[in-house]
Amino acid sequence: MDKEKKIRQIAFYGKGGIGKSTISSNLAAVYAERGLNTMVVGCDPKADCTRNLRGDVDIPTVLDVLREKGVAKLGLTELVGGKQVDMDEIVYKGYKGVLCVEAGGPEPAVGCAGRGVIVVVDLLKRLGLYDEFDLDVIIYDVLGDIVCGGFGLPLRKGLADDVFIVTSADYLSIYAANNISKGIYRHASREGSPLGGIVYNVRGAIDDFALVEEFAQSVGSKVIGAIPNDTSIMECEIYAKTAIEYKPDSEIADMFRNLATAIFENKDTVSPTPLSKEELAKLAQRIRQKTREEHLIGGSA
C-alpha cells in the first residue's frame, strides 16, 4: 500500500442486504473488462461477496485455510516457520481474471467476525498480495454495520483510498449509512479512509433520489451514482453472474459502467459530518410521509 504504483483502493459499506456485493462485483467486472488487474476482498463471514464473479463456485476462505494450517502437523523444515499460506490457496481467478478473496468467518452467534477481518487483512499485507499481482484496483466489500473495531479495519490508513456507502431510500439503510459515517469520521482524524460518496441503490418501497441526495449533502458528501431497481439484476443473481457478464449490452450494465467510471475517477472526498439523532428523526418523518404518499398514489389499501 505504501508502494509507488497507484493502486486504486475502494471500500464499500452499507446495511446488510443493501446490494454492496452486487455493486462491487459488477464494478470489478467492469474494471476487468477495461483491462485493469482487479481484486475483490470480501469481508463477510457469509463468504458470498464474490459469488457472482465465480459462478457460485465454492472457494476456501482465508480463515478456513488459516485454521487448517494452524492444526496441521509440520514437516521438519516447517518447524520454525510453521505452515505457510500460499497465494493460490486463497486467491481465485473469477470472471475476466478478477481475483476473488473471501475472508470468511464464524457461524452466526459464535466467535468474533471482527477479529476475523483483522487477521485476514494482516495476512494479505504480509503475503504481499498487492505487489504479487500487480494490481490496479482493489475493492473491499465489508458487511453490514460496523459493530466493533475489527470491521473498521478497511477504514484505517493505508487501506481504502475512499469509502462508498451503499444505501437505499428507506430509513434503516439511511440509519446504517449514518452509523458508518460515524466510523469513517472517527478514523478520518487519523488519516483514515475518507468518504468518497453515496451510492444510491434503489430497492424497497420508494424511489426517492432527492432524499438520498439530501442525506449525502447533509453529511458533506454527494451521491456518486444510482442503480435503479432492475429485474435483470435479480435474474443475474440466480445465475450467479454479474450483469456485465450475463447481459453486457443491457441498460443496467451501462449504468454499472458509468458508476464504475465515476467511482474510479473520484477525487472528491470528505470526512463526513454524521447526522445527529434529531436530524435523523426529521429524515425518518419525511421517509414515512413519502411512503404513505406512494401508497395512496398506488391506490392500494
Partner 1 sequence: MMYEQEQKMEIGSKKGNGKNVGFLRPLISAYSTLPLHGITAIPGKISGALMVANSIEDAVPLIHGPIGCAFQRKINPFRPYLPFYETPCTDMNDLEVIYGGEDKLSLGIKETYEKYHPNLIVVITTCASDLIGDDFKSVIEETKAKGDVDCDIVYATGDFVGKTKPVGYQDALYAIVDQMLCNGIGIGQEKEEIDKNENSVNLITFPIHGAGLKVAEMASVLSEMGIKINKICFNHTTVKDLYELPKADLTITDYPMAWARLMKERFGVDHYEILAFDRYKETRDPELFSPYGIEGSTRIFMEIAQQLGKEGEAEEVIARRKENAIERLSKVKKGLEDKKVACMGGIHGIGMSMLSDVGMKASVIIYKTQALESRLTSDAINEMLDINVGLARKYGSDPEVLVNPTIEEEIKAIKKTGTDLVLSMGASAHKYNKEGIRTFDSMRFTLHHQRIGFGTPIELAILLKEALKKPQRRNPLLSMLEYDSYRNNLIPEWAVLADMFATIREGATGDMVMSENVYTTT
Partner 2 sequence: MTWLCPRMCTPQHRYRKMSDTEVKTREGLTYDPTQDCKLVGAARALAGIKDSITIVHARPGCHCGVLLLRALGSNQNDIRIVGSGFRAQDMVYGAEGRLAASIKLSYNNFKPSLIAVLNCSAPAIMGDDVEGVVQAMKREIPAEIFSLSTGGYEGPAWIGYEEALSELTRYMVPGETESDKVNLIGFKQDDIKSSADLLEIERMLNSQGITLNAVLTNSSFGELKKAPKASLNIVLGGDGLESAKIMHEKFDMPYVITPYPFGLNNSIDFLESVTKSLSKEVNEEFIAIEKNRIKERIERIFLFLQGIYDMSVAVVGDAGRAFDLAKFLSDELCLNVKVLAITSRNHISLDKTKTNDGYFETLLIEPDRFEMNEEIKTKGVEMIFGSSMEKKLAWELGLPLFRIFYPVIDEVSISDAPYAGFTGTTHLTEKIINSVINNYIEV
d(CA 14, CA 11): 10
Q: How far is the CB of 108 from partner 1 (least distance, A)?
A: 13
Choice among 20, 96, 241, 290 that is catalytic: 20
Between 116 and 183, CB nearer to partner 2: 116
d(CA 47, CA 8): 23
d(CA 27, CA 18): 16
Residue 145 annotated as catalytic: yes
Between 42 and 105, CB nearer to partner 2: 105
Nearest Cα residue to 135 out of 13, 220, 8, 254? 8
Within residues 101-160, the interface with partner 2 by CB under 8 A covers 105-107, 109-113, 115-116, 119
Q: Which partner in partner 2, partner 1, none is near 238 (CB below 5 to 8 A by kind)?
A: none
Q: Which partner in partner 2, partner 1, none is near 123 (CB below 5 to 8 A by kind)?
A: partner 1
Interacting residues toward partner 1 by CB under 8 A: 2-3, 67, 69-71, 73-85, 107, 110, 112, 114-115, 118-119, 122-123, 126, 148-153, 156-157, 187, 190
d(CA 212, CA 118): 31
Q: How far is the CB of 76 from partner 1 (least distance, A)?
A: 4
Tell whether the torsion through CA atoms of 139, 141, 146 and 148 is positive or negative.
Answer: negative
Tell whether the torsion through CA atoms of 118, 120, 141 and 28 is positive or negative.
Answer: positive
d(CA 91, CA 89): 6
Q: How far is the CB of 113 from partner 2 (least distance, A)?
A: 7
Between 55 and 158, CB nearer to partner 1: 158
Residue 230 annotated as catalytic: no
d(CA 295, CA 49): 34
d(CA 166, CA 155): 15
Choice among 48, 64, 145, 230 that is catalytic: 145
Please name the residue that has the C-alpha cell 420508494: 206
Angle, vertex CA 34, rays to CA 193 and CA 94, nearest 5: 80
Residue 20 annotated as catalytic: yes
Between 74 and 210, CB nearer to partner 1: 74
Q: Would you give the binding string for partner 2 spanning residues 55-94, x where CB under 8 A is met? A: --------x--xx--xx-----------------------
Residue 290 annotated as catalytic: no
Between 120 and 223, CB nearer to partner 2: 120
Considering the rule CB under 8 A, would residue 39 count as an interface residue with partner 2? no
Counted residue by residue, the chain has a size of: 301
d(CA 234, CA 154): 28
Helix axes 251-265, 20-33, angle to 10 degrees: 80
Chain residues that interact with partner 2, rule: CB under 8 A = 63, 66-67, 70-71, 105-107, 109-113, 115-116, 119
Active-site annotation, residues: 15, 20, 46, 145
